Chains A and B, each alone.
Chain A
Amino acid sequence: MEHYAVAIAVTAGIYALMALGMNVIWGMAGLINLGLVGFFAVGAYVSGLLTLRLGVPIPLGMAAGAGAASAFGVAVALITVRLRGDYLAIVTLGFAETLRIVMANELWIANGTDGLSGIPGPFRGAFGPHLFNVFYLGLVVAAVVVLFFLVDRLAHAPFGRVLRAIRDDEEIAQVAGKNVVRFKVKAFGFGTAALGLAGALYGHFTSYIAPDLFAPLLTLYIKLSLLAGGLGNSMGAVVGAVLVVFFLESTRFLMPLIPGITAVQGAALRELMIAVVLLVILRFYAKGLIPERIEHPHLPDAAACAGS
C-alpha cells in the first residue's frame, strides 16, 4: 500500500509538471493544445531511446527529451500561429494521433505496439524497488518546485504580462508594438518542453512505454487539472493535478463496487464520469479553486490628479 501511495504521488508530480507547462500555453498565452499527450510521448520516447540504445546518461536523455518535444512544439506553433486558433487545435490533435500511429507501426524505432521496455531509472539497481520509488518521488517533487518557481517568475516578468495581454486582446498587444507571433511561439516552445520533461520522467520511472499509453484521455486529465485548480496560476495547476490524480485513483477503486457491470463497462463509466466532470467544471466553475490574481498597476485617482 505504501508502495502504491508513492507511485501515485510520482504520477501526481508528473501531472503537475504537465499542468505547469500547459499553464504557460493555455492559461497565460491563451493558446490551445489538444495534443499535449503527443509532446509527452516525444519526451518519453526520445529520452528512453537515447538512454537505452545509445547509453546516454539519464539527465542528458531527459534534457534531450524536453528539447525534442519543444522543437516539435515550435514547429507546430510556427505553422499555425498566424491562423485562427481552430487550426492549432486541429494540428495539435493530429500531431498526437499521427505520432501514435507512427510509433505503433514503425517497429524499428521502438518495437511498435510492443513498446519499449527496460528503460533505465537513475540508481534503480543500487536502491532496490522501494527506495528507488521514494528517491524518484524526491526527484519529481524537485522538478515540480523548480518549474513552479520558473513559471511563477515568468508570470510576473514582462514576458508573462505580454502573454496575458495577447491572451486578453491580441490586437491591442500588437498595437502596443509586441511581436505577437514570437511571443506565442516562445510560450508554446516553453510549455511543450515541460510536457516533454514530464514524459521523460514518466518513462524512466515506469521503465516501460508503449503507444497505447499516450491516448487522448491524458490530455483531458491535464485540462481537468488546470481547470480544477484555476487556470492561469501556478499554484492552481499543482493543486489541480494532485486533486485529479486522487480523483482518478479513487474512481479506479469505485468502479468494481458497482454491481452487474463488466470491466469494459466500468472503464467506459469511468471515462464518461471524467468527461462529465470536466464539462461541469468548464461550464460552472471555470475560475477554479484558486482564481488567477492579476495585479493591475496602481493608478492615481482622478481627484488627486485634478488637485495637483
Chain B
Amino acid sequence: MDVLQLILNGLMAGTILAVPAIGLTAMFAVLRFTNFALASHMTIGAFAGFVANGWLGWPVAPSLLAAFVVAGLVGLATDELILKPFRAAGFITTAIGSIALTIALENCIRFAFGNELRGYNFPIRRDWAWGGLHVSPQQVENLVIAVIAMGLLFAFVSFTRTGKAMRAVADNPMLAAIKGVNADLVARLVSFLAMGLAGLGGMLIGLDTTIDPLIGFKTILSIFAAAVVGGLGSLPGAVAGALLVGVGEELSLLVLSPAYRSAVGFLAILIVLTLRPRGLVSARAY
C-alpha cells in the first residue's frame, strides 16, 4: 500500500480519535481521574446516533448531535450519581468503579440492541481521487465535523468565562475555590462535555466501520494512547497524540495485520511512559 495514502488515512483517523481523547484528558485535568467509563459512553453515543439515523431516519449530521447530547447527559447523570462519591474514596476505588460502570452501561446497550453488527444509513458516494490518493466524501465530512467540534471546544475553553473557570479548577482547585469558582458546576460541565465528545467520537468511528456494543471498549486503548502520548491532562497534547497514534496505527499495516491496531497504541503508551512519562506536551490543562 502507498505510504502517503496510509499517512492520509492515519491523519483522518487520528482527527477522529482526538475527539474522545480530548474528553478523556479534560476529565483527567479537571476531575483528576482516568475515567474508564469513556468506553461505554462512546458506545452509547454510537447507538444514540444509530437510533436517530437508522430508526428515525435523520441525516448523519443531526444524528451526530444526538450522539453528543445523549452521551453527554448519560455521562452527567452517571458521574453525579455513581462516580462522584467514589472520587472522595481515592483513585483505586474510582478506577474500579468506572470500569464496573462501563461494563454495566455496555450491557444495557447489549440488552437493548443485541450483539450484531450494525451500520449507519448514508448515501454512498464515489471516492474523491487526487494525485493517486483516495478519500471518501463521508470521511471528509466526518473530519470536518470533528474539527468543528474541537474548534468549538477550544474556543469555549479559551475565551469564555466558564472556560476560564474550568482552566482555573484544573490548574489549582484550591485557589479556584478561594476565588469563588463553583467547582461542582465546573465538574458537571466537564462531565457533560467530555462524555458528549466521547459519544460523538463513538459515532464518528462507527461511521467508518460498523457498530456493536464493544465499539467503545475496542477503541479505548487507542484513545488512552492518544491522551498519554500527548500528556494526560493537556488538550492540545491529546490532539497531537491522537494524530501520532492514528498515523502510527495506519503505518503499522505495512508490517502487521490490522488486528494489531490497538496493540500499536499500547506500544506507544509503553514507549512514552519509559522515555518521557509526561508526554509530548507536559501536563498543563491548556
Contact = CB atoms under 8 A, between A and B. Distances in A.
A254 interface: no
Contacts of A272: 103-104, 107-108, 111
Interface in B28-68: 28, 33-34, 36
B50 to A, nearest CB: 17
B182 interface: no
Q: SS class of chain A's interface: helix, strand, loop or mixed?
A: helix
Interface string B83-116: 0011001011101110111011001101100110
B111 to A, nearest CB: 4
A264 interface: yes
A86 B28 contact: yes
B210 to A, nearest CB: 17
Given A86-B232, A94-B224, A32 B92 contact: yes
Contacts of A282: 86, 93, 96-97, 100
Interface in A59-115: 79-80, 82-87, 89-91, 93-95, 97-98, 101-102, 104-105
Interface in B145-180: none
A199 interface: no
B95 A83 contact: no
A82 B101 CA distance: 28
Interface in A270-293: 271-272, 274-276, 278-279, 282-283, 286
Contact of A286 (B89, B99, B277): B89
B95 A79 contact: no
A101 B111 contact: no
A129 to B, nearest CB: 33
Interface in A1-58: 26, 30, 32, 34
Contacts of B89: 286
Contacts of A80: 273
Contacts of B262: 97-98, 101
Interface stretch (B14-22, B243-251, B263-271): B263-271
Contact of A275 (B28, B36, B103, B221): B103
A272 to B, nearest CB: 4
B79 to A, nearest CB: 13
B228 interface: yes
Contact of B85 (A84, A216, A271, A283): A283
B260 interface: yes
A104 B260 CA distance: 10
A264 B112 CA distance: 10
A85 to B, nearest CB: 5
A264 B212 CA distance: 13
Contacts of A86: 28, 33-34, 91, 95, 232
A90 B92 contact: no
Contact of A220 (B82, B91, B100, B274): B100
A292 to B, nearest CB: 15
B129 to A, nearest CB: 32
A204 interface: no
Contacts of B28: 86
A79 B107 contact: no
A91 B101 contact: no
Contacts of A131: none
A279 B273 contact: no
Contacts of B36: 34, 89, 93
B259 A104 contact: yes
Contacts of B110: 264-265, 267-268, 271
A5 B116 CA distance: 34
A294 interface: no
26 contacts: A26-B92, A32-B91, A32-B95, A34-B95, A34-B99, A79-B273, A84-B91, A86-B34, A86-B95, A87-B277, A89-B36, A89-B95, A90-B34, A94-B224, A98-B266, A101-B263, A105-B260, A216-B99, A223-B96, A269-B107, A275-B101, A278-B100, A279-B97, A279-B101, A283-B82, A283-B86
Interface of A: 26, 30, 32, 34, 79-80, 82-87, 89-91, 93-95, 97-98, 101-102, 104-105, 216-217, 219-220, 223, 262, 264-265, 267-269, 271-272, 274-276, 278-279, 282-283, 286
Given A32-B92, A93-B221, A98-B266, 10 more contacts: A30-B92, A87-B228, A93-B36, A94-B265, A94-B266, A105-B257, A264-B110, A265-B114, A275-B103, A282-B97
